[in-house]
Amino acid sequence: SDSFPELRSPRKGNTVYVSGADMNETMLRTAFSAFGNIIDLYMDSPRNCAFVTFEKLECADQAVTKLNGAVVEKVQLKVSIARKQPMLDIAVGKSLWGSLAVKNSMKGSHRDKRSQVVYSEDIF
């Protein structure tokens, strides 16, 4: 809860949130690839932010430590662990259960996947 920020555990994840004016994908790839293998990079240019997903949690932690507040190509970056962590196949690993959970998740699914059964006889 936000009432007790000191009791909140630190966020964990392999995706970092980056904000800064006039960022570009090439600049971000160059700066963040120094910390590990990047498996996804998403830019939201109108909002001047981006999300960089690393292969390992440790890489994300190092990127936050080293690049938060740093100036890269005349752009001052704010870097933190992303609040929401995407469930990418490669991030889940090769676990059968992990991949099944991602594929069969009901979260965000608003369509009813049941089919209607119609009987030809009036049995009731």
CA distance 54 to 33: 9
- Taking 60 as the threshold, does the pLDDT of residue 108 lie above it? no
Give the number of other Cβ atoms within 10 Å of residue 11's Cβ: 13
Between the CA of residue 40 and those of 23, 29, 50, what are the distances in Å?
16, 10, 10
* pLDDT in the model for residue 45: 87
pLDDT of residue 106: 53
* H runs (alpha helix) in 12-83: 25-32, 57-67
pLDDT at residue 1 above 50? no
pLDDT in tens, 9-65: 566 789 999 999 999 999 999 999 999 999 999 999 899 999 999 999 999 999 999
Average pLDDT over residues 101-124: 62
The rounded mean pLDDT for the chain is 79
Residue 10 near residue 17, CB atoms below 8 Å: no
pLDDT at position 109: 52
